[in-house]
Structure 1
Amino acid sequence: MSVVTGEKEFFTGINQIKYEGRESDNPLAFRWYEADKVVAGKTMKEHLRFACAYWHSFNGNGADPFGAATHVFPWDVKSDAVERAKDKMDASFEFITKMDLPYYCFHDIDLVDYTNDVSDNEKRLHTLVEYGKQKQAESGVKLLWGTANVFSHSRYMNGASTNPDFHALAHAGAQVKSAIDATIALKGENYVFWGGREGYMSLLNTDMKREQDHLAKFLHTAKDYARKQGFKGTFFIEPKPCEPTKHQYDYDAATVCGFLQKYDLLGDFKLNLEVNHATLAGHTFQHELQVAVDNGLLGSMDANRGDMQNGWDTDQFPNDVMEVAEYMLIILQAGGFAGGGINFDAKIRRNSTDPSDLFYAHVGGMDVFARALIIADNILQKSDYKKTRADRYNSFDSGAGREFENGKLSLKDLRDYAASKGEPARTSGKQEYLENLINRYI
């Protein structure tokens, strides 16, 4: 991939990030991520399908609920919204190509600031889409997925497709239509729905069934429109339990699976899972991955982590090799993502104010996943990991256990078996052994 810049170079002094191997002390080089290295039959690039999150990397400014912006971006100074947006896109593609990231992801308002005029917003977005087409053609970078931000504007204070005011719902429809059009124009491979405020603060003023019916109707309407426009990709729903609402309807992977089944959406939708959202739901990310895999719905993931001392969505870059190795064990055994990839939905810290910090963050995250991929493949190929797990269930592989799985035993048959066999033996789950096994391969 060649580096693409606009008229101005925004990240001066930083060249394209290269693989230099494990002995390298260069903080702006990959030690583990070697894009063309073949692991488990595919290159790392094909397995991991890394993407840059446009919003955190180029719209985030370091502000938090207790303080103003700390990141002053040289691409965010022009007064004209469209010209400012073009500078931002120049900077983003310079960064993405210097990082050798194959994909990016965006919300509609990430690309260009919106007003309250629907037609004007559509014109602005169209202008940036045309500019984005040029950038993609020059660089070879692709759009992993697009989406619409239908949660930040004050009109969405009570939700978007679940808003009790139809007028607000219609505005959400206008944004989603435009975002779908943009995704198609930029040859996006998927489209995401994140219900940022699709939930409630109090049941005292909420008709929950009606709101969920509206959400399903909205998803069907958007899906039908996209298909008529020729969109062949997958639609993703991203679960999150709360924040900003008290309770969101896409609470976790299991909840979304049930929702998709209830409303006949399984044929078109899969899950885009986020690590920090799993934490907020009281789950491990491994759990969320496994739920999606077991239901055939693992579409994509947003890579980040939370902070155990902060009970909110801190969106930090991933850095725990053991945890990520456990993710990759599940993803590899599932055969990978269905259409999606690994989007770094993570942001540099409020006090990380140098342009190089954005590079350090992505280099670290990409290396962690590459290393975890190698570890997981070695475990699956060289250890007794799969056998140890399978052996826990070997009583169902033959005899009465197999008959039970095949639906051939009655409840009385189970009673008679228990009575004739006496107390079962205690069999170790070998949890510590398996945890040590991962550490051995690290």
Structure 2
Amino acid sequence: MTCLFAPSLAFRHYNPDELVLGKRMEDHLRFAACYWHTFCWNGADMFGVGSFDRPWQQPGEAIELAKRKADVAFEFFHKLNVPYYCFHDVDVSPEGASLKEYLNNFAQMVDVLAAKQQQSGVKLLWGTANCFTNPRYGAGAATNPDPEVFSWAATQVVTAMNATHQLGGENYVLWGGREGYETLLNTDLRQEREQIGRFMQMVVEHKHKIGFRGTLLIEPKPQEPTKHQYDYDVATVYGFLKQFGLEKEIKVNIEANHATLAGHSFHHEIASAIALGIFGSVDANRGDAQLGWDTDQFPNSVEENALVMYEIIKAGGFTTGGLNFDAKVRRQSTDKYDLFYGHIGAMDTMALALKVAARMIEDGELDKRVAKRYSGWNSELGQQILKGQLSLAEIAKYAEQHQLAPQHQSGHQELLENLVNHYLFDK
């Protein structure tokens, strides 16, 4: 019997130079590999020690191991042919035992990364600061009850923003890993909201001060590690941005697994961000609806991601953002090639999803049906309502005078689901 699939390190669907809707596939997708899951995680979990044998994770001088890690990382980026990468500050540099050591180590490693980028042509999609792992951040960073912890976090963010700017990064991400609470019994919600609001305002001020032309991004997540996080989902982040006058300054980096944890579909979060005008970038992965934590698996559903790419491409595509694989191999995946299998499969998944999305856009049937469904709002009555030319009482008077008796029109959900399957599976 012939095997229909043999393990391969070749792409089946991703071709960076293939034109899709008149644009190179690489330019549509803007793939990035992440530093943390790929090169920092050692395979440990809550119930077991590290299961991976990574030479750069062995005992030794921290700064030399960081340089060895950078060698491996850029070799991986080159072999995988991804145009971008992403990092947290302490992914690429030893944290050290003091603030002075942190700053000195990071400065050294930024020079190393700059040289690697120059040599390889790989660019930085985004940088960020890890303000959640160290025990000092147990009660948060910007929302911490201690202003000295707040100040340490500010130092990390300033330093990571400056590094991102120096390295030509196209975005800077802010993920509030512990910006939330475990119990309301010891939490002042108003105080913490004011703190993080001011922190974000200062981040925006610093962006303009240093001349960083990239995009600032908040990454929503509902919980984990805290019980409840303040950046719960896209809609919550938008409300926060509006409150502090930041909706024109900060966008969102949407992670698929975080949407799952918030009880939303990935499609919903992408569409919501686009509708609210704050869509920025994507962490492409997947979660497990049967589990209540962040599994960070590689994306493998063309069905799910075709709808995501449809929304993104229909809205004009990425500008500074891209598809970062915030995903990790499983703890049992200890073969050195598993890192490649995971990324190659994910890149093929997103490439095929892009092709399906292109078919949906070229055919235009979904758009036509949505436009027809809302066509009544193009009428004189609809336009007067939307333009604020009628009060609530005037609309009620109109309905009475014209004896309105509207009839429900079918939403044709089943037909549209069949149509999407046609794009997915018909050749």
Match of 1:187 among 145, 168, 182: 168
> 25-34 or 364-373, which moves further after superposition?
25-34
Q: Does 1:97 align with 2:43?
A: no
Query: C-alpha separation between the residues in 2 aligned to 1:247 and 1:435?
Result: 34
Aligned-residue offset at 1:25? 5.4
Query: C-alpha separation between the residues in 1 aligned to 2:404 and 2:316?
Result: 41
Change (3 A) 1:24 1:350: closer
Contact 2:223 2:229 in 1 (8 A): yes
SS of corresponding position for 1:161: coil
Q: Deviations over 1:15-54 (max 9, x none)?
A: xxxxxxxx99562111111101111232111111100010
Task: Tell me the equivalent position of 2:137.
Answer: 156
TM-score, normalised to structure 2, is: 0.95
Q: Does 1:268 align with 2:268?
A: no
SS of corresponding position for 1:124: helix
Query: C-alpha separation between the residues in 2 aligned to 1:192 and 1:379?
Result: 31
SS of corresponding position for 1:272: strand
Aligned-residue offset at 1:426? 2.7
Aligned AA (1:435): E
Q: Deviations over 1:62-115 (max 9, x none)?
A: 211122111121222250001101111111111111010000000001002212
1:203-242 superposed matches below 5 A: 203-242=184-223
Aligned-residue offset at 1:213? 1.0
Aligned AA (1:75): W
1:304-383 superposed matches below 5 A: 304-383=285-364
Contact 1:348 1:361 in 2 (8 A): yes
Contact 2:253 2:283 in 1 (8 A): yes
Q: Does 1:425 align with 2:426?
A: no
Task: Tell me the equivalent position of 1:41.
Answer: 22
Aligned AA (2:375): N
Task: Tell me the equivalent position of 1:387.
Answer: 368
CA RMSD, Structure 1 to Structure 2 (Å): 1.6
Match of 1:256 among 212, 237, 242: 237
Q: Does 1:396 align with 2:396?
A: no
Aligned AA (1:65): M
Task: Tell me the equivalent position of 1:438.
Answer: 420
SS of corresponding position for 2:337: helix
Change (3 A) 1:423 1:66: farther
> 223-232 or 97-106, which moves further after superposition?
223-232
Task: Tell me the equivalent position of 2:33.
Answer: 52
Contact 1:76 1:87 in 2 (8 A): no
> 355-364 or 37-46, which moves further after superposition?
37-46
Change (3 A) 1:185 1:78: farther
Change (3 A) 1:219 1:412: closer
Task: Tell me the equivalent position of 1:167.
Answer: 148
Query: C-alpha separation between the residues in 1 aligned to 2:418 and 2:334?
Result: 38
Contact 1:102 1:142 in 2 (8 A): yes
Query: C-alpha separation between the residues in 2 aligned to 1:142 and 1:78?
Result: 30
| Identity value in percent | 50
Aligned-residue offset at 1:421? 4.4
Task: Tell me the equivalent position of 1:135.
Answer: 116
Aligned AA (1:191): Y
Query: C-alpha separation between the residues in 2 aligned to 1:174 and 1:401?
Result: 52
Contact 2:96 2:105 in 1 (8 A): no
Task: Tell me the equivalent position of 2:259.
Answer: 278
Q: Does 1:111 align with 2:92?
A: yes
SS of corresponding position for 1:438: helix
Task: Tell me the equivalent position of 1:71.
Answer: 52
Aligned-residue offset at 1:116? 2.9
Unpaired stretches in structure 2, ≥5 consecutive residues = none
Query: C-alpha separation between the residues in 2 aligned to 1:46 and 1:372?
Result: 15
Contact 1:298 1:338 in 2 (8 A): no
Query: C-alpha separation between the residues in 2 aligned to 1:207 and 1:156?
Result: 17
Query: C-alpha separation between the residues in 2 aligned to 1:249 and 1:426?
Result: 39
Aligned AA (2:406): P
SS of corresponding position for 2:216: strand
Query: C-alpha separation between the residues in 2 aligned to 1:130 and 1:248?
Result: 35
| Aligned length, in residue pairs | 420
TM-score, normalised to structure 1, is: 0.92
Match of 2:69 among 65, 72, 88: 88
Query: C-alpha separation between the residues in 2 aligned to 1:398 and 1:423?
Result: 16
Contact 1:302 1:343 in 2 (8 A): yes
Contact 2:174 2:219 in 1 (8 A): yes
Contact 1:24 1:31 in 2 (8 A): no
